[in-house]
Chains A and B, each alone.
Chain A
Amino acid sequence: MAGHTNSEGEKQQVENETADGDVVTLAHGAGGEAMRTLVDDLVVPRFTDADRTAEADGAGVGLAALDDGAVHPIGDGSQAIVVTTDSHVVTPRFFPGGDIGRLAVAGTVNDLAVMGATEPLTLTCSFVLEEGTPIADVERVVESMRETAREAGAAISTGDTKVMGNGEVDGIVINTAGVAHVEADDAVTDAGLRPGDAVVVSGTMGDHGIALLAEREGFDFTGDLKSDVAPVNDLVRAAMDAGEVTAMKDPTRGGLANALNEMADKAGVGIDVVEGDIPVSGAIASAGEVLGIDPFAVANEGKVVFGVDPDDAEAVLEAIRDCPGGEEVTIVGHATEDHPGRVVVDTGFGRRYMSEPEGETLPRIC
């Protein structure tokens, strides 16, 4: 279910109230424990009752897997349909390197891609617009969506528009869903990591999250802080054609730390990474230090984390390196039988855990 993986800095607008009077807080929208409890306890059991598609008959990927999308086998089971959806609210709506429209299209294309579905059949687009939003902004966002969809080879073929009163919604909210067709054997989940697999990241970490935080807080860092928001379906296709990809995830909200922990947890393996091998741009590293924000714990919007059969790792690396956005692809570590479910970092000094970030990303006091 991709709807729970919207990006760093985006706000959850749910207004549920539980029986004991608790209310939704921003922490519920920040990933981690609070969101997991909300989704696991409140949503999943109710929706999986009616989920006739997937895990029930042992094939496909359903809601309970909480992967980036669902895989629905069709016909004789050799083919499958992949479906995903995401809502996007981001401040500011235009940021260095992209905008909410590009984020909406790339986010959905990428959620399909990391399920192994690199050729989207169609996307949907629903707008919720706040009264008073400049038409010029809407036009700019729609144009950006058109360009990004064209870049990804996707079509946007259905949608909806609603307008709400001033203050009732934050500017522009976009929901996108994506549908793709795959050979069932081609589908890849985030749970397939095996001990010994190489863990590969397609490029520098933390670009989107740190660039957005810096922009939002009005920090004027020297150096080029830009979001990496981009469709990655071509890059994923190149990787899958070059070798055996055992697991995939796009490290959006919660960043690399969240992606690796989920992959380790779901596969029941440990992951060892070498901090010095994880690519981070100089500008992002410096800005992260100043803000007190870990580049591994914030969103990327144009990157992929792969589990790769070790024999195929070099071939996959070479294939990704030839793709736009894949120039800095690196093997950052490997899966292991030790410490199942946990990610251990060799810092160059000692070893420590890399845990899943929890709660909102807040700057430190001093």
Chain B
Amino acid sequence: MSEETLQFRNPEQAEQLADRLEALMVEVDGPVNLMHVCGSHEQAIAKFGLRSMLPDGLSLRMGPGCPVCVTNMPEVDEAVAVANQGAIVATYGDMFRVPGTKQSLADARADGADVEIVYSASEAVELAEENPDEEVVFFATGFETTAAPTAAILVDDPPENFWVLSAHKYVPPAMEVVAEMPDTDIDGFLAAGHAATITGYGLFEPFVEEYEIPVVVGGFEPIDVMLGIERLLEYISEDVAGLENAYPRCVTREGNRAALETMWSVFEKTSGEWRGIAEIPGANLALREEYADYDARERFDVEPETGGPDPLTEQCVCGDIMAGKADPDECDLFGEECTPGNPVGACMVSSEGTCKIWHEYGGHPDL
């Protein structure tokens, strides 16, 4: 591990920040609910046991920040349908076991379909190049951080046997939906540092203004997270809706302009259902008309007949968890009917999903 990384893993510094949080909570004099919008934040918080360092009354909630979790079941069904039509479906590891209404891609592979796990869009292109006689479809999921690389592939003349099935999503409109939910009482947002490396933190200015709520962009090392929380509590204690970049070593105000231009040249915002949350205008990324030749939805029959979902999913509260209204252990299925080995909801599948993370690390166990 590099010196630079270790410096953001200094327990004494975390201890000092924890003392500062304690003092700020006294100033605020009431419960505070903060929401982070990123599975990697939840990972860091749970993995380093940060919740056990937080003062009473300060609650850290996970928002719709796991791209796998918010991928809607019919989108998984589309990928399964393509795989069952004989194409090679390439996707990120996280997506592999997410249940659709009938099958996951893992189920489809067990039944004989060709499903490959890739680490990047470019690896999916390599797969197409290595299999010129096959049709290769990249089931493309993720937020800005993965949408930009997918776009870069498409502007770079990929092979003719390569298509993209886009389930890419765009975070900011989802934050607005959560901020507007009447029963979601959020006092501040810790925004995702890696998405902001692409979009820039300036993107949140209108949001802060409209919803009068502080936003701090934070990194993923334990000190980054503690610092982000401290900055948010400062704003809340002063009753100010400010915007701050607490991750300046990676994030700028403007973001990565070249990546953004490429992304918006390939994708356009459409309305789409985020699993368990809501139909969100402008939060799905669809391929523009100019890239229809690479659009798997144009090439394949992606509207298969699907059965009703597993009745257990009716009891799954993933939607409430991602909207910050419930913790995983408030779900009746958690750890019983729903486990990482046998997931009911997508939140129990992905390593970015709150339920999976809580199952692995214990959320905020009383230890």
Contacts and interface: CB of A to CB of B under 8 A. Distances in A.
A352 B47 contact: yes
Given A26-B110, A351-B52, A365 B11 contact: no
Given A355-B361, A366-B145, A350 B53 contact: yes
Interface residues of A, number: 36
B11 A348 contact: yes
Contacts of A292: 351
27 contacts: A23-B110, A23-B111, A27-B341, A32-B340, A33-B340, A339-B367, A347-B47, A347-B49, A349-B48, A349-B49, A349-B222, A350-B50, A350-B52, A351-B52, A357-B360, A358-B359, A362-B97, A362-B351, A364-B93, A364-B351, A364-B352, A365-B93, A365-B95, A365-B141, A365-B142, A366-B40, A366-B145
Given A349-B48, A364-B94, 10 more contacts: A26-B109, A34-B341, A292-B351, A345-B49, A350-B50, A352-B361, A355-B360, A360-B97, A365-B95, A366-B145
A360 B109 CA distance: 14
A229 to B, nearest CB: 24
Interface string B258-281: 000000000000000000000000
A26 B117 CA distance: 13
B253 interface: no
A359 interface: yes
| Size class of the B contact interface (CB-based, 8 Å) | 35 or more
Contacts of B51: 350
B341 A217 contact: no
B107 interface: yes
Nearest to A219: B119
A365 B110 contact: no
Interface of B: 1-2, 5, 9, 11, 14, 39-40, 46-53, 67-68, 92-97, 106-107, 109-111, 117, 119, 141-143, 145-146, 194, 222, 339-342, 350-352, 359-362, 365, 367
A353 B46 CA distance: 9
A351 B339 contact: no
Contacts of A285: 1
A286 B2 CA distance: 8
Nearest to A25: B110
A282 interface: yes
B146 A350 contact: no
Main secondary structure of the interface of A (DSSP, over half): loop
A201 B50 CA distance: 26
A159 interface: no
A364 B365 contact: no
Nearest to A290: B119
A366 B352 contact: yes
A363 interface: yes
A365 B92 contact: yes
A352 B365 contact: yes
A168 to B, nearest CB: 15
Nearest to A338: B367
Nearest to B111: A23
B30 to A, nearest CB: 24
Nearest to B141: A365
Contact of A349 (B11, B96, B340, B360): B11
A293 to B, nearest CB: 9
Nearest to B143: A366
A344 interface: yes
Contact of B14 (A25, A26, A339, A349): A349
A29 to B, nearest CB: 11
Contacts of A289: 1, 5
Contacts of B96: 360, 362
Given A352-B367, A359-B97, A366 B142 contact: yes
A349 B50 contact: yes
A27 B97 contact: yes
B17 to A, nearest CB: 10
Contact of B340 (A23, A339, A350, A358): A358
Interface string A324-366: 0000000000000001000011111111111101111011111
Nearest to A280: B1
Contacts of B360: 353, 355, 357
A355 B50 contact: no
A363 B119 contact: yes
A282 B5 CA distance: 12
Contacts of B68: 365
B303 to A, nearest CB: 25
A347 B142 CA distance: 29
Interface string A1-43: 0000000000000000000000111110000111000000000
